[in-house]
Chains A and B, each alone.
Chain A
């Protein structure tokens, strides 16, 4: 994985020292809260419902074992013994004391981490496919391009005060696991006719109060032109994006209001202004330098099938089930991608204790070249596990309660912190996720239902990605109580779609029954198990569900 060079190390050290001084001045009363607030937000520090919250950047979701151990240490020493992995592939601490935050940032800097670009109207931490570099279906590893974007965007003076926050997602695989079509900029890798890699550039996607699927403005951009082209997009947005109304300030509104063709023309005109020769050369040289950090680890030459592994699959049903759901195909024969679900029955999606973090760090060191990924679905991934080691890995995970075999099933729920933690929330998310998870605790039942993604947001800002869930739940306030709306048919993959509202909201005590009713409509009407929930929805439409759900309500 990428290691800081002298420039990275210096700017993080400088920023840490700078914020330490700012905190001390705040505590001495030399800065008012009004003066301090933008400074703390630039360092990922929020004031939430019960306490401060520190959001730490995990660049494109990649962590080393050493970093994960440091995150565990921070959770234990400065927080309440746990952290929360987010839909932005980051980690949040829910209880830091202001006076401790400089020490936390110092501890992060020791392992080449920080909390910059996790808040404010800047280019946020770039996200990508959690299987980047190891996916069997990948065209090319997107991480060097993510790292290039990270270096370019970090403290970029021209783009530090944008009209609104800005999120870039990259995928190197045709099957989109990074939800690139619902980001401000989504980059999908393709090869051109000459076999060279490049990106389809998608702009203006997003969730929140105005959900939109992004529009393609370039079918193929040569990879080495990425920075100048993204710069052109940012300049158009920075100039024409609205600053008079924060609800209309995201790039999706600009693209929508002027139209994708006009927007595209502005970008191409901006792009045509410069001679990008030098920038392209520099970027190509930098990507080549960065690529060395992402060279594949020392894989052994292994057979595709391991006899002992096959025997364990045959003998142990629980192991076989975990492999079936949580293990994905690796690009190298004899290796596998192991997903660690952070969604145990009745658990809090995305939460991990310090002990769990340390265990994952140890297991990554033993079985996965000391590397871990954070998935935007709020799970963890060991990307490079020899298939013959899956049995030992599973036993260790199972003993710690981390072997829930539910990836992509009903209980693999994405949930924002909601009103249990978040100051912006209008309703709670986590208790709803927990109740659904308990209702569908029977794994055989979950397997019968199959591929069904439930996402829950506790307010219209949609951190829980409810719009792109097969079954989305949005928590609102209605007449002084929590109320939950259901949307159906959303999708975050390469066929991204925004879910459709089925009707009036449900009270907190009704919502789990309503979810079960939706599932029942699907099970009763599907053309066999091979017709997935989303296929069924696309065949019958929202009206079919609406009539069935509200008729029985």
Chain B
């Protein structure tokens, strides 16, 4: 039976991360002490991380349990999804559309969204104008206002 404690799951994440890093490090050569290869450090760190993760898992069975708090999956996915969409749209649809998608997408995760979406339109317009003037025009960051889909 899996005990749902923070120690257990943190340990599990560490072991998984360490194992993945160790697997990928197999192709880097180890070298010798005076000419340590590029594989030495990654392997050492991955193994250490797995050991630390293992200790954390073992500990989870003995030490007083800190119950795992619930993961709020929906807001997390909405925020992350909006960011990814914004990254995808920036060069293609341009800054105006990409930032609108990010603002509204992210804002929809809030419970206040339904009541306040009209104010949000104003805020979005102001934010986009600010970004276009400060970042694109004044600082000269190479970002298209209108992306390649429309040009």
**Pairing of A with B:** no
**Interface set of A (CB-CB < 8 Å, partner B):** none
